[in-house]
Amino acid sequence: MQLIRGLHNLNKLSSGCVATIGNFDGVHRGHQDILAQLHEKSEQLQLPSAVILFEPQPREFFAPDHSPARLSSLREKLHFLSEQGVDLVICLCFNQRLRSLSADQFIDQVLVQGLGVRYLVVGDDFRFGCDRKGDFQRLQQAGLALGFAVTHTRTILDADQRISSTRIRQALEVGQLDEAQRLLGTRYSIRGRIAYGQQLGRQLGAPTANVQLKRLKAPLNGVFAVHATVSGQRHNGVANIGMRPTVCGEKAVLEVHLLEFSGDIYGQEMVVEFERKLRDEKKFESIEMLQEAIHEDLDVAQEFFASLD
């Protein structure tokens, strides 16, 4: 899969492409169906498939303090899109220059001159351009005039409701991991590099790997039984994701303790799959009470994993 970053790096593809535009946060079952539409047309027209993304996501640009928690970092998103067989990802920096483009300028500079789009798949509620003045009808009109076709995405339902990133966030927020898995098509996971932390877990008898979140907010909070994969090895573990109120944490962190494991894994990538919520994060009155709770969490997690055997 090829990645192109920034408007300045766009070059019109000699034969054109079929494309879609969106956040693709989580690359859930609804997104996967859009990509299936894309692949179907890509094979029919013998053109590469392209996904157009924005970084930061538009709501993060306009209201960073009120934007929803991300399901996927950019790195995770690219991993999932590659797994889905996408040929090309165009990642555009959502900044003042891009948000100032009119709808017609966006069509001309990005879709026509930039990518030579021949076929476009977008939601019929898609809005774009300065002040969101561009819509699906405008795209269809431009397509007729400029030589590209536009079709809307199919609606994929689960329990008579549209599958969406919002539904998945709501499920994760209340610890409904099985529902999130059903909507995603896989267990919810976070991947990131293991960085040095405060070494507090080691002092408490439960050393942890500090996994970089690479997002403004975490989509779930609390203590979880997890499966963690590092260096190709899958381990049982316990993860805390949140603000660590007992030690006055200032930002959300993901800390993972691997059960029955010891070794140096700093700097490596870890994939953390959330299997069962054990409890909410809470502030303890003392470090001793926190230590006691941690060891209770380890016991509960061990019982959970034993029940899977």
CA distance 296 to 142: 62
DSSP assignment letter at 229: E
Q: Which of 255, 269, 273, 281 is catalytic?
A: 255
β-sheet bridge partners, residue 210: 195, 255
Please check whether residue 78 is in contact with residue 89, taking contact to mean a CB–CB distance below 8 angstroms. yes
Quickly tell me which residue has 């076709």 as its tokens. Answer: 149
Q: Is 255 a catalytic residue?
A: yes
Report the interhelical angle of 177-184 vs 165-173 (nearest 10°).
160
CA distance 218 to 224: 14
SS percent in the chain: helix, strand, coil, step 5: 35, 25, 40
Report in angstroms the alpha-carbon separations of 163 from 49, 52, 112, 181.
23, 20, 31, 12
Report in angstroms the alpha-carbon separations of 233 from 223, 227, 228, 308.
22, 10, 8, 18
| Residue 255 main-chain phi, psi, to 5 deg | -120, 130
| Residues taking part in catalysis | 255
